[in-house]
Structure 1
Amino acid sequence: MAKPISAIEKQHPDPLEETSEALAEIGEKIANSREAVLKTLDILQEMQKSGVLDILYGLLKSREKVGTVMIEQINQPKYHHVIKNGFQLLATLESEQLETIFNAMKKGIEQLDQPTKKQQSLSLWGMMKAVRDPYINSALSMMLHFLHGVGKGLESQMQLKES
């Protein structure tokens, strides 16, 4: 007859082996999600360049104070409709539209940093000359189309209210 087992020895895995297995698993997941990881790194790099990461870091460090102030402000009745309308607007926009608009705004903001040749007020003649610039012309055209659409929307709302 066999002898009964009186003591069970637990085998402890080697910490170095555990670490190498974990790294191999992480490396495999990164390789399988290569494009997503690269895009994420690009996003982080752009956020770092623009200072957004520093802002987020500061917000996280003082999150309790910021959170308290935000909740107090959001709980005011005057902001309930603003938040609701903002979400409704975002839900109606296509992602390509948002991307186009935000990229254009980013370029415009970058131009704000560029020093102008002369720091003097722009004359009416100077504005007329500026309209010939193809970039300014396309931006003005886009804004006019936007205003035209807003006007159409307002007119249809007024007609609905009248009937």
Structure 2
Amino acid sequence: MAKPIRIVRKLELTPEERQQQAMQELTQSLTDNQEALQQSLKLVRELHESGALELVTALLQSREQVAKIAVDQLVKPSVTQTINNAMAVAGAVGQLNPDVTKKVVGGVVNGMERAAEVLESNEKVGLFDLVKALRDPAVNKALALGLGFLRGFGEKI
């Protein structure tokens, strides 16, 4: 009967064998990723020819100074207020009903087009024209919308 193995010896490679194995793995990787590497080289060539590669290199070399400038700009009160305002607006927009928003925005676009036409025609509006406009269903609807907006706005401020 054979004796049991009690000592496990690790196969240790010489530096030359490790280098040879690394070269084989690298060659295999180059072969497997040939198309991606060619596209990467083309991208690097385009960046170099346009001067963008030098810009990115300089930016990376100065990354500590660039980071300091960026942080200094971000901690300014105006920037933090802008970020806070943007987040508040994003939260408010998320609460809007998309159907109502679409309808109101469509009305605003149509109203702007009509306003441009009136602006070009230089029409004069008199007191009787205003009273007559109140009987127009479209004008009445817009006034009701505006009054509803003002009521809702006033409730929240």
> Normalising by structure 2, what TM-score?
0.43
Larger gyration radius, structure 1 or structure 2: 2
